Amino acid sequence: MAASRGKFSNKFGFIAAAAGSAVGLGNIWKFPFEVGKGGGSAFLIVYLLFSFVLCYPILVSEIAIGRRAQKSAALAFKPLGHPNWSIIGILGVFCAVVILSFYNVVSGWVLGYFVEMLLGNFEIGHHFEEYVTDIAEVGGYALAFLIGTAYIVSQGITKGIEKFSKILMPVLIIIILVLTIYALTLDRAMDGVKFYLVPDFSKLNLNVIYRALGQSFFSLSLGLGALMTYGSYLSRKENIVSAGALITIADVGIAFLAGLMIFPFVFSQGIEPEGGAGLIFMTMPGIFQSMGPSLGVIIGALFFLLLAFAALTSTISLMELPVAYMVDKHKIKRKYAVWYSAAVIFLLGIPSMLGNGYSEFFTNFITYVGADKPVNFMDFVTDVASNTLLPFGGLMVSIFSIYVWNRHKLFRELSHGHPKFPRTFLAKYISFSLQYISPPVLGAIFIITILEIFFGVQIF
């Protein structure tokens, strides 16, 4: 697709690819544990606000910039007449590589749990912490997953994957829906629902706001130009504003549902909601076990298999960034670009792999100034790349699209495929948010969190 600067055959191809990128581990693995760490409903509310008020307009601009420029992220700013801004695109490429390095490790866990479920080993739920220290095993699965991603990206057969995921993603949603209904019938389920949905603003603090913002960007694949690249393959006939709305609603909807499924399970089994990155791995096997041996194996294996597919459509979009950059900019053959990226990503992933109990150094990697506990390598990388740099990328996109490229050109691009756009309510909403909400809110959060969280400067 990208090699020959192809086009999506229609709107649904684009939506499937973009939604495939957005929906992934971020929704089903990361969102629930971030809610758990962030005190439940307080996190949820902030996340919803950020997603719709702040991120949706940025998502629309990212796609518009890409479509206008007809170039992948790092090269998109030049044809629009602002070559200096390419640095933002290059930062995005760097971020994609870093995010993929740990994302791939977690994808390996998912693959491993798929196999354990097939074997009927539901006990693995109690042994997550030991499991992730088996470096040969998790390393092997991570390597297999990365090779799968690299192979697909090298062949440029993402179209086939899109078709595939158009069938598989609805199946995943149906399984989650069925599991949610099952979850709600269990003992103590309502404690989980309360934790998740009944607002408790006493839990609201800077850390929750910071993480909810990062989660919104991460989950929507926003802030590093992934959607710019996809936008560059989109036809001018299509309506970006409505496609963007659909992607946002689908992504947020699936995350919301995953939360509604997991918290009743967590509370019914007496698991700590603050469990962190292991939350779904500790919770789900016990649930499958409670369904009886044969049904449990089927549903359990299917759940982790489909989750692996959801992850795959996301890793493909992440790997496309360094690859498109090397191909477009340095004229490297697509194949070499892919395998070179894969090698770098695998090596960069090793500290994330070791940092879950195997290596003391990477497990207690860094203690932020003023914090009482160290964080592991994966958490540190998440804080830097996804919680800090993605919103920073979003800040730059909003400033660029309103002031540098300018609103009229943005609106003109959005009018292709939607001629009435400038007169709609959404036009006002999008431009208001890009101009008056994103820059001050993202700018303030960026500065305050760097000072407070990383350097321990007390501002409030």
Report, in Å, the least distance between residue 276 CB and ligand TRP: 17
Given the complex with ligand TRP, which of 297 and 319 has the nearer CB atom? 319
Alpha-carbon gap, residue 430 to 427, rounded angstroms: 5
Given the complex with ligand TRP, which of 22 and 183 has the nearer CB atom? 22
Given the complex with ligand TRP, which of 31 and 377 has the nearer CB atom? 31
Rule CB under 6 A: is residue 219 a binding residue for ligand TRP? yes
**CB count in 10 Å sphere of residue 388:** 21
Closest CA to 228 of 18, 387, 56: 18
Q: Judging by beta carbons within 10 Å of its beta carbon (0-12, 13-18, 19+), is residue 330 exposed, middle or buried?
A: exposed
Q: Are 79 and 66 in contact (CB under 8 A)?
A: no
Question: How far from 31 is each of 36, 38, 89, 265, CA to CA, in Å?
Answer: 9, 10, 26, 15
Closest CA to 102 of 323, 384, 389, 373: 384
- Which of 55, 99, 193, 241 binds ligand TRP (CB under 6 A)? It is 99
What is the DSSP code (8-state) at residue 210?
A: H
Query: Which residues ranging from 389 to 418 are in contact with ligand TRP (CB under 6 A)?
Result: 390
Rule CB under 6 A: is residue 104 a binding residue for ligand TRP? no
Report, in Å, the least distance between residue 96 CB and ligand TRP: 6
Rule CB under 6 A: is residue 224 a binding residue for ligand TRP? yes
Segment lying near ligand TRP (by CB under 6 A), choices 4-12, 275-283, 295-303, 310-318? 310-318
Rule CB under 6 A: is residue 24 a binding residue for ligand TRP? yes
Rule CB under 6 A: is residue 21 a binding residue for ligand TRP? yes
Judged by DSSP in three states, 418 sits in coil
Given the complex with ligand TRP, which of 219 and 268 has the nearer CB atom? 219
Report, in Å, the least distance between residue 388 CB and ligand TRP: 13
Alpha-carbon gap, residue 67 to 69, rounded angstroms: 6
Rule CB under 6 A: is residue 314 a binding residue for ligand TRP? yes
- Which of 226, 243, 261, 434 binds ligand TRP (CB under 6 A)? It is 226
Query: Which residue has its beta carbon closest to ligand TRP?
Result: 26
Rule CB under 6 A: is residue 280 a binding residue for ligand TRP? no
Rule CB under 6 A: is residue 316 a binding residue for ligand TRP? no
Q: Judging by beta carbons within 10 Å of its beta carbon (0-12, 13-18, 19+), is residue 440 exposed, middle or buried?
A: exposed
Rule CB under 6 A: is residue 27 a binding residue for ligand TRP? yes
Q: Count residues contacting ligand TRP (CB under 6 A)?
A: 16
Alpha-carbon gap, residue 132 to 116, rounded angstroms: 13
Report, in Å, the least distance between residue 227 CB and ligand TRP: 8
Given the complex with ligand TRP, which of 267 and 400 has the nearer CB atom? 400
Alpha-carbon gap, residue 90 to 321, rounded angstroms: 9
Given the complex with ligand TRP, which of 215 and 433 has the nearer CB atom? 215
Alpha-carbon gap, residue 402 to 77, rounded angstroms: 14
Alpha-carbon gap, residue 416 to 408, rounded angstroms: 13
Binding site for ligand TRP (CB under 6 A): 21-22, 24-27, 99, 218-219, 221, 224, 226, 314, 317-318, 390
